[in-house]
Amino acid sequence: MYFNSLQYLLFTAVVVSTYWMLVELRMLRLFVLLCASWVFYMSWSPLFILLIIGSTFLDYAAGLAIYRAERPGIRKLFLMVSMVGNLGLLGIFKYYDFFAGAIADSFRLLAAALLEWPGIAWSPLTTAADQIPFLNLVLPVGISFYTFQTMSYTIDIYRRQLEPTRSFLQFATFVAFFPQLVAGPIVRASEFLPQLRHRPRIDMEKVGHGLFLILAGLVKKVVFADYLAINLVDRVFDRPDAFTSVEVLVALYGYTVQIYCDFSGYSDVAIGTGLLMGLRLPDNFDRPYQSTNPAEFWRRWHMTLSSWLRDYLYFPLGGSRRGPIRSYVNLFLTLFLIGLWHGAAWTFVLYGTIHATAMVFHRFWVRLRKQDVDRVDSQAIFVFKVALMFHFTVLSRILFRAKDLDNASAVADQLLLGTTSVAQVAPTVWLAIGLAMAIHWTPKRWVVQVKEAFTALPALVQGVIMAAVGALLVEVATSDVVPYIYFQF
């Protein structure tokens, strides 16, 4: 059930209407919301709803057990049960085959090397490699997102930063809340559970903001992301040898726009849908391509993932409190795992490694020039930093988009050929990239002013605008369905 489908709009309209009709009946209201969320997920993966339900029961029980336990060892035991259960499922479904393949390839490489040494048995290594089992499991949609949500719940309880909820219904609704279930934002229980305990009130400002975000998210997805994917990006990555270097570069610019509009567009619709029910979800993007360095980029891009790994990995490892070398190691591990979180493939291993290295270098540079930390850059230096960081991001997207290392290598080779024709880039592609970039770099206050102006309009006028935008989206929508990029994670 894609956000940019009539099916989703009708589903949301029914759920939101029912939700408000039951506003005085909290238990029934949450029960309907939970059932709707499970139905939404089952439209993607009917069987895998059992994983969500199982994870919900596990962490609900673990949270209560951790909170009630007096002895530190018992509390840690229950936390480990939660962690092993969640990470175990994530590891089996997402990473098992990748690591099994890596081990098998290592055995074969070692066996090939031993062929040059007479008298050393190598055939057992080949046999062992051939006998490593592969599961070939389908990755459940959204497992990386809801796994992190439930883990943060038990960790916060273990840290005595959160009291567990006694209501299984509330906790299950937090885990499965349908707008952000499949691709975030990653929500923490401390932010969301208190909202479920109180009676929601109709706030026309929130509703207006929610409708505006939904429209903005759909425009990002349909007008920019899907159009660029179909008309340039997918074709270049499918056959890089059929395009010139400049066309490949334009496709990389296009993919940089596509992935932002695709993912931030999903987040906009998710946040907007939540606001229609009086429920606030955290922001997930803050104009990341305006960043001047890697640290700022990851504070602006997929903000809920970056802050999750900061609070539950980087700080527990010691952060920057244990000296510069340890802080570099901690920083590298955190950024490396951001890359690996996105997928079990060597392309994502390299993607994480490149961004981790850039982050460590930036931290080293800042530490080296500590005396200049308060210096204000000139306009020219600021523009140079933004352009440098932007193009670092653009080039690293080769690894993010390529289906494997061979595909990434082919794209990079074609980019370096130096051929200059742009005959295969349609004028509308240039327009889409340019317009999206222009919007991205407009002052943030302009967008706020437009949103507030839309919110201030009468409901009838808002409805007319929504209908007009909907008609436009139907007109420009591609005939092929383009899945949201982050559904694969």
Enzyme catalytic residues:
342
Which pair of structure tokens corresponds to residue 129? 């490699």
> By the 8 A CB rule, do 473 and 4 touch?
yes
Task: Name 125's Cβ contacts closer than 8 Å, sequence gap at least 6.
Answer: 107, 108, 110, 111, 114
Nearest-angstrom CA–CA distance, 295 and 17: 42
Q: Which of 401, 309, 418, 323 is nearest to 356 (CA)?
A: 309
Indicate the SS3 state at residue 126.
helix
CA distance readout (Å), 181 to 119, 186, 281, 288, 460: 57, 8, 12, 23, 31
CA distance readout (Å), 153 to 48, 193, 194, 342: 21, 10, 13, 22
Sole residue written with tokens 């504070």: 299
Tell me how crowded residue 423 is: count the other CB atoms within 10 A of its CB.
8
Q: Give residue 83's identity as a one-letter amino acid code.
A: M
Nearest-angstrom CA–CA distance, 130 and 114: 17
Q: Which of 272, 251, 286, 300 is nearest to 414 (CA)?
A: 251
Work out whether the CA dihedral 152, 175, 284, 209 comes out positive or negative.
negative
Strands (E), 23-155: none
Nearest-angstrom CA–CA distance, 489 and 487: 5
Cα angle: 313, vertex 147, 79; to 5 degrees: 65
DSSP structure class, residue 316: T
> By the 8 A CB rule, do 327 and 355 touch?
no
What is the residue-wise DSSP string for 386-412? HHHHHHHHHHHHHHHH-SSHHHHHHHH
Q: Which of 412, 301, 255, 408 is nearest to 346 (CA)?
A: 408
Q: Which of 219, 214, 253, 216 is nearest to 233 (CA)?
A: 253
Task: Name 385's Cβ contacts closer than 8 Å, sequence gap at least 6.
Answer: 292, 293, 377
